[in-house]
Amino acid sequence: MDFASINWLAVVVCVVMSMISGTLWYNPKTFFPVWWKGIGKTGEPGMEGNMGLTWGLTILSSLVQAIFMALLVNALGGVLGGVSLASGITTGFLLWLGFVAPTNLVNKLFAGHGLKVWAIEAGNHLVNLVLFGAILGVWR
């Protein structure tokens, strides 16, 4: 793992992009109402629990994903013909397909949330990983 190969500004942009895409994805005019109902919540959504901790861990999680995506885009770029937009997008998609989508599917099914909630949550992860790959593949 060569942390010196990471474009740290691109990583920060990935984190900001994930916050923007998540806000749009889970907006009351997009997927939020269906997701909220699908996870068994009723009534008006509120900020439940320790929101400082929730947002802090959300940002930290996005940062960790972006850092490791940067490492993997660089590593897989050699296998996929060089680091580029295409290899970055492919890396993001393959990580989603091989790790995120199946793991999230099992979690949603055992939680009783079903395929609709899985599709919404996994779709958000797919968008983020593909965006991360694109950003990190282009911006070296």
Give the global pTM: 0.90
pLDDT at 49 over 90: no
pLDDT of residue 130: 98
pLDDT of residue 46: 64
Residues 14-29 have a mean pLDDT of: 96
Read off the pLDDT of residues 71-80 as tens digits, 9 standing for 90 and up: 999 998 877 7
Q: Which percentage of the chain shows pLDDT scores above 90?
A: 78
Q: Please write down the HEC assignment for all residues of 83-127.
A: CCHHHHHHHHHHHHHHHHHHHHHHHHHHCCCHHHHHHHHHHHHHH
d(CA 140, CA 118): 33
